[in-house]
Amino acid sequence: MNKKNKKRKLALKKQKRSMKDRKRRNLYLKAKNSPQEIVWSDFSFLTKWQKMDAADLMEEVFQMDLDEWIYDYFKPKNDKDWNLLLDYEVVNENLNLHLDMCIETWDLQTDGFTAEKVPEGFRFTPESVPLFVECIKHQIKLDAGEFTEEDKINAEKMANEEKIEWFKTIHEKTLDGIIDKMTLYVQKEMQREMLLSSYG
pLDDT value of position 106:
95
pLDDT of residue 104: 93
Listed in sequence order, the DSSP H helices in the chain are: 3-33, 45-48, 54-62, 66-68, 79-84, 88-109, 129-144, 149-161, 163-170, 172-199
pLDDT at position 31, please?
A: 40
| Radius of gyration, alpha carbons of the chain | 19
Distance CA 39, CA 148 (A): 41
Within 10 A of 39 (CB to CB), how many other CB atoms are there? Answer: 7
The C-alpha atoms of residue 186 and residue 173 are separated, in whole angstroms, by 20
Q: What is the predicted pLDDT for the residue at 76?
A: 92
Domain chopping of the chain, boundaries: 40-122+171-199
What local confidence, expressed as pLDDT, does residue 87 receive?
95
Check residue 195 and give its pLDDT.
80
Q: Which residues of the chain have pLDDT under 70?
A: 1-36, 144, 198-200
Q: What is the pLDDT of residues 161-199, one digit of tens each?
A: 999 999 999 999 999 999 999 999 999 999 998 887 766
* End-to-end Cα spacing for the chain: 69
CB 48 within 8 A of CB 120: no
Over the range 68-107, which residues count as b (16 or more CB within 10 Å of their CB) and which as e?
ebbeebbeeeeeeebeebeeeebbbebbebbbbbebbbbb
What does the pLDDT read at residue 17? 46
pLDDT at res. 196: 76
pTM of the full predicted structure?
A: 0.80
